[in-house]
Structure 1
Amino acid sequence: MTLLRLSPAALARCRFALSPLAETLSTLVALHRTSPAPWQASWHAEHRPAYLAWIETHETAMGLMSLVSATKWLPDTVTPPPMGGMHTRLDDELAEVAAHTDEAVRATVADALAASRPPQYTAWLARPGLAPRIAGVFREGWTRFVAPDWPRRRAVLERDIMHRAGILAAYGWRRAVEGMTRHSVWVGDNAIRFSEQDYPDRHITDEGLTFVPHTSDNGSWTCERPPHFALVYPARGPAAAVPAGADDPLAGLLGPGRARVLRELARPATSTQLAAVLELSLGTVSAHLAVLRESGVIVGERVGRGVVYRLTEWGERVVGVLAGGHLAADDGSPAASNASS
């Protein structure tokens, strides 16, 4: 078992952050693997041919992605903790990746190779300039496969953080970390179980721990630059709601667009987040929300500068009775680490 042991002052400094780099890494790993999660199947089928065509002509991308998709120990080079909070920039993260020496890259890759499934292609490690080339892989991966969809992805990530922040405010960190990863539970007075594997415990100092969601279904990992530590985990319910079809009673009652909005509110969201996730105009979403609110199936509550919408008890009953098993995914997902769980 691997524990993240927090100092007495660390809890007060724990926070959430976004990481475009972590999102890019998890996306590329999802495309590299042959068996996607069911909710990712259509996206995977659409983008994997372009991904394979890209890495087949890019030696560093092929070697790097083959390794990080098959190891239980991610190289430190690719896992810097995000330092910009909710405004972390990819440029800043890639600058840190590119700053590693060739010797440092080879040393941490050796650890990853030792924890991976053989055989691994290693010829790419012989050339100089490893860290800038690795940064280039992630920049191109971001441009090709993440940036076009970033507004929707960011909305999913922000909703996860909003959800966990609500649990934190109501129940504390013990409840907030439960289900964050496949193995995460609070242990004793000051520790989080990260993995069932026997890696050395991590000692989180007074700088605290940063929690970073990603939208894929391929695991959790730690980012370690003492005294800075982060835990990257799969966002809650990353799958969009099942599209309403002709045989969908909820769509028959409300119309397909309004049914999609109602289903998505199984997880509270702002109108902007709904528009991004559902790929609808803000005006269309606002019109649906107005009708649903007048019907009593949702309620809006002001949080900071925005309004967060959620199902009422009546709304939950309507969705449960008419939608059956069509609710959006709402559980944790399998994990992979710098220590990987």
Structure 2
Amino acid sequence: MTLLRFGPDALHVSRFAVSPLAETLSELTRLRQTRAGVLAGRLDEDPFVRGLVDLVTATKYLPDFVAIPPGRDLADELAAMRRIGDAEARATLVEAHRFAWASDGLAWADVTGITGRAADFLAECWTRFVEPDWTRRRAIMERDIHHRAGVIAVSGWRHALDGMAPDVEWAGHDAIRFSTQTYPDRHIGSDGLTFVPHTGMSGRWICETPTRIAFVYPAKGALADHSLGDAGVARLLGLGRARVVAEVRMPATPSQLAAVLGVSLGTVSAHLAALRAADVVTARRSGRAVYYELTPVGEELARLVTRH
């Protein structure tokens, strides 16, 4: 198995962060697996892009130059990618190819400026597929981070890993099991480990530089099922309020709910006010934000409206 081993005090400085680049990679994988047609023209016109996409969406070991720890923003992350030279990039492509379950070789990588071309393509994917939906995606990721931070405050880091990804769990007092596959262990130093959620259906990976390591994982709530099981209860409650009840199974702010559900903040606020008056939801302040969560009555109602 593969372990992430923490040095002295490394866990105390570990943190959560959002990464536009990780989210772009997640979306690229989803598109390749479920909606390949939207990429078809781009892949057909550029052998480099086709080879890169085929490799990064079908390997257990991402090339290091696309697995960049989170920066200030996408431009910062892509700048870090561009600083990696061709020789280093080719070496990590060879390693990624060793662990690929589907690839036609690396002839496409026999070009100059590998990381610059990769960064240009990922910037294009961000603009086309991720940025228009970034508000909703970020709301999902921030809710996951808030949830896990609350678990850490009450129960410690060990329980913050619950449901993070299959096979991910504590191994002893100073290590996290990252995978059941046998890869080299990673040693977490004084910069700690950065946990990075993404909104994809699945997938986890390590991002690494000489001094920083990040662990990317699927956000809790990314697969939230907004379909409503008991149509009668949903009609009685009202479709809008029923969707809010289903979504607040994981605590959220009004603005996060508006982003995730695709409605106005005013609409969400009105639904929350009615649900709070009926003792279905309750509000609590966390810093400057107000989070809504289900009461015991709300939990019973949520089970009805989400039952299939």
Range that drifts further, 219-228 or 111-120: 111-120
Matches within 5 A, 1:240-259: 240-244=224-228, 248-259=231-242
Q: Which of 120, 130, 149 is the matching residue for 2:133?
A: 149
Gaps of 5+ in 1: 35-43, 326-341
Q: Of 254, 260, 284, which residue of structure 2 is paired with 1:271?
A: 254
State the alpha-carbon separation in 1 of the partners of residues 240 and 47 from structure 2.
45
* Aligned residue in 1 for 2:295: 312
Please report how far the alpha carbon of residue 144 of structure 1 lies from its aligned counterpart in structure 2 after TM superposition: 1.0
SS in 1 for 2:168: coil
Partners of 1:123 and 1:100 in 2: CA distance = 19
- What is the deviation of 1:322? 4.3
Output the aligned Cα RMSD.
1.4
Correspondence 1:33-52 to 2 at 5 A: 33-34=33-34, 44=35, 48-52=36-40
> How far is the alpha carbon of 1:95 from its aligned partner?
0.5
- Given that residues 221 and 233 in structure 1 are in contact (C-alpha distance below 8 angstroms), is that contact kept between their aligned partners in structure 2? yes
Superposition deviation, residue 217 in structure 1: 1.7
Paired position in structure 2 for 1:178: 162
What is the rounded CA distance, in whole Å, between the counterparts of 1:232 and 1:318 in structure 2?
33
Structure 1 counterpart of 2:132, one-letter code: P
Q: Which amino acid aligns with 2:38?
A: A
Q: CA deviation at 1:53?
A: 2.3
Post-superposition CA distance 1:15-58 (Å, at most 9, x none)? 00000000000100111124xxxxxxxxx4xxx42222222223
Other-structure match for 1:237: 221
CA shift at 1:240, angstroms?
4.0
Once the two structures are overlaid, the 10-residue window that deviates more, 253-262 or 115-124, is 115-124
Q: Distance in 1 between matches of 2:61 and 2:53?
A: 13
State the one-letter code of the partner of 1:25: L
Query: Given residue 102 of structure 1, which amino acid in structure 2 is its aligned partner?
Result: D
Please state whether the residue corresponding to 2:178 is helix, strand or coil. Answer: strand
Aligned 8 A contact 2:168 2:177 in 1 = yes
Q: Could you list the per-position Cα deviations for residues 140-185 of structure 1 after superposition, in whole angstroms to 9, with x for gaps in the alignment? A: 0111110111100000000111111111111000000132121111
Shift of 1:228: 0.8
Which of 202, 206, 220 aligns to 2:190? It is: 206
Structure 2: unaligned runs, 5 residues or longer:
none
Could you tell me whether the CA contact under 8 Å between 1:248 and 1:323 is conserved in 2?
no
Do residues 296 (structure 1) and 279 (structure 2) align? yes
Residue of structure 1 aligned with 2:122, choices 132, 135, 138: 138
Q: Does 1:128 align with 2:116?
A: no
The aligned length equals: 308
Contact 1:18 1:157 in 2 (8 A): yes
1:168 partnered with 2:152: yes
CA distance in 1, matches of 2:292, 2:51: 45
Alignment of 1:217-232 (within 5 A): 217-232=201-216
Residues 125-150 of structure 1 deviation map (CA, whole Å, 9 limit, x = unaligned): 11111110000110001111101111
CA separation in 2, counterparts of 1:323 and 1:127? 52
How many Å separate the matches in 1 of 2:266 and 2:298?
22
User: C-alpha displacement at 1:200, in angstroms?
Assistant: 1.2
What is the one-letter code of the residue matched to 2:79? A
Question: How far apart, in 2, do the equivalents of 1:242 and 1:304 lie?
Answer: 28
Alignment partners' CA distance in 2, 1:288 and 1:118: 48
- Kept in 2, the 8 Å contact 1:178–1:186? The answer is no
What corresponds to 2:22 in structure 1? 22
Kindly indicate whether the alpha-carbon contact (under 8 Å) linking 1:167 and 1:176 is maintained by their aligned counterparts in 2: yes
How much has 1:308 moved relative to structure 2? 0.2
Matched, 1:76 2:71: no
Asked if 1:60 corresponds to 2:43, the answer is no
> Aligned with 2:244: secondary structure?
helix
Superposed CA deviations along residues 61-111 of structure 1, whole A, max 9, x for unmatched, are 21111001111110000011113xxxx300000011111111111010000
Shift of 1:215: 0.4
Paired residues of 1:7 and 1:190 also in contact (CA < 8 A): yes
Structure 1 distance, partners of 2:8, 2:162, is 20
The reply on whether 1:282 has 2:265 as its aligned counterpart is yes
Map of 1:321-332 to 2, 5 A cutoff?
A: 321-325=304-308
The letter for the 2-side match of 1:169 is A
Question: Which AA in structure 1 matches 2:49?
Answer: A
Kept in 2, the 8 Å contact 1:219–1:234? The answer is: yes
Distance in 2, Cα, partners of 1:301 & 1:223: 35
